[in-house]
Structure 1
Amino acid sequence: MLPRFVGRLGVADAVTIANAALGFVAVVVAVVDIDLAARVVLLAAIADGLDGILARRFGGTDAGPYLDSLADVSSFAIAPAVLSFVVVTDGLGIGFDVISAELAIVTAVCALFVAMAVTRLGMYTAYDVSGSHTEGVQTTLAATVLGAAILAGETQPWLVLAVTGAFCYLMVSRVQYPDLLARDAAIMGVVHALAILVPEFAGRTFPYALLTLGLAYTTLSPWFYWRDDGFSDPVDVHGNA
């Protein structure tokens, strides 16, 4: 007897499910090789954009939006929180033999990141399914910024914790973020891929470029990226992020 999903899920759904698995892989790898874990998270972000492209090309399914949000919990809520936790605890030399104040703070911030990411994903699925913008920073973007920062070597523990904490609010804020134009999404995708493939090239140029683009979009796009032509040719490169 075939599994019940045979004939009911499409190629885009398969990529979405693979995205969820990548989130788990990133968590496992984080305790061994934090740079590799960051690359896996960035790869999951590419998969998150790819499933949207495939859904538009081959058609989506009724289960697609739900699978997308569930996969994003793994890859863009839990995985980046674990990356942040590992970077901060390692950087501060926090041990696990006793519950210290520092360990409690780091755990609380990272747990709050997961909670707010899950909240944002649920709100997106319920309320932001149409239009050319979304409220709050996309979970994919938050994960991308954290992953790019790690690959760029910007791993000062308190800075990473502060950025993680800032995203806790930004993901559930009412700030409106416009979808990228297709041209800009393509540029972002190329830089994204190069940051994964050759992260150490030319002094970590591509991770730094990806980090700069991510931070620029996070801080500037709500005020300067809106188009006067009715958001012509927008692309939601973040799926249900």
Structure 2
Amino acid sequence: MQPRFVGRLSLADAVTVTNAMVGFVAVVVAPGDPELAARLVLLAAVADGLDGVVARWAGSSAAGEYLDSLADVASFAVAPAVVVVAVVGEAWEVSVADPTARTVLAVGLPALFVAMAVTRLGMYTAFDTAAKHTEGAPSTLAATILASAVLAGVAQPQVLLAGTAVFVYLMVSTVRYPDLLARDALLMGVVHSLAVLFPEFAGMAFPYALLTLGLAYLTLSPRFYWREGDPAANGNA
């Protein structure tokens, strides 16, 4: 007897499920190697972009939107939160067996990040998939910035937790973020891939470039990236 999904899911869905698998592996390796886990989070982001390309080329299924959000929970909610816990926990030598105020902060803030990312993904699936923009910072963007900061070596515990706290708010805010143009999405995908493959090249140039692009989109796109004809253009973002 064949599995139920045979004939119902598309090739794009297979890429989406792979994204979830990569996110799980990132969670597994994060306590021992946060940098590798960060690279896997970025690899999952590449898969997240690729499934859209495959869907346009080979078609999608009715389950695609739901699978995408479910996969993103693993790769861009749980995985980056665990990376934050691993980096901060190692630097602060926190232990859940001997809880302190630092332990509560190091674990509680990433847990809140997961809660807000899941909330955002549910709201996105319900309300934003047909639009050319989304409300709240994309969880993929949040995960990309946190992971690239770890790879670039600028993720001191205070900085990483501060960034996590900012995303806790921004992911469920009403700030509108426009979808990337195809050429810009391709550029981000290339830089993602280079950061995954060659994180230490030229003084960690690719993680720094990815972090810069991510922060630029986070801070500037709600105001300046709208295309002519977009509903949120002309200062209404």
TM-score, normalising length from structure 1? 0.93
Across the aligned residues of Structure 1 and Structure 2, the Cα RMSD in angstroms comes to: 1.1
Tell whether 2:213 aligns with 1:213: yes
Give the share of equivalent positions with the same residue, in percent. Answer: 64
**Larger relative contact order (Cα-Cα within 8 Å, sequence gap ≥ 6):** 1
Provide the rounded CA distance (Å) in 2 between the counterparts of 1:156 and 1:116: 23
Q: Classify the secondary structure of the residue corresponding to 2:22.
A: helix
Q: Classify the secondary structure of the residue corresponding to 1:200.
A: coil
Alpha-carbon displacement from aligned partner over 1:123-150 (angstroms, at most 9, x marks no partner)? 0000002121110100000000011001
Alpha-carbon displacement from aligned partner over 1:102-126 (angstroms, at most 9, x marks no partner)? 1012211111000000000000000
Report the equivalent of 2:234.
Answer: none
Report the equivalent of 1:141.
Answer: 141
Tell whether 2:85 aligns with 1:85: yes
Report the equivalent of 1:190.
Answer: 190
Residue 97 of structure 1, CA deviation: 2.8
Report the equivalent of 2:14.
Answer: 14
Provide the rounded CA distance (Å) in 2 between the counterparts of 1:182 and 1:167: 25
Provide the rounded CA distance (Å) in 1 between the counterparts of 2:45 and 2:185: 13
1:174-185 superposed matches below 5 A: 174-185=174-185
Structure 2 gap segments, 5+ residues each: 232-237
Residue 229 of structure 1, CA deviation: 4.8
Structure 1 gap segments, 5+ residues each: 232-241
Provide the rounded CA distance (Å) in 2 between the counterparts of 1:63 and 1:211: 32
Report the equivalent of 1:72.
Answer: 72
Report the equivalent of 1:202.
Answer: 202
Provide the rounded CA distance (Å) in 1 between the counterparts of 2:131 and 2:2: 38
Report the equivalent of 2:160.
Answer: 160
> How many residues are paired up?
231
TM-score, normalising length from structure 2? 0.95
Report the equivalent of 1:39.
Answer: 39
Residue 184 of structure 1, CA deviation: 1.4
Provide the rounded CA distance (Å) in 1 between the counterparts of 2:115 and 2:197: 31
The letter for the 1-side match of 2:98 is: V
Provide the rounded CA distance (Å) in 2 between the counterparts of 1:118 and 1:204: 31
Alpha-carbon displacement from aligned partner over 1:194-229 (angstroms, at most 9, x marks no partner)? 001100000000000000000010011101111225
Alpha-carbon displacement from aligned partner over 1:55-107 (angstroms, at most 9, x marks no partner)? 11111111111111111110011000000111111111223331111101221
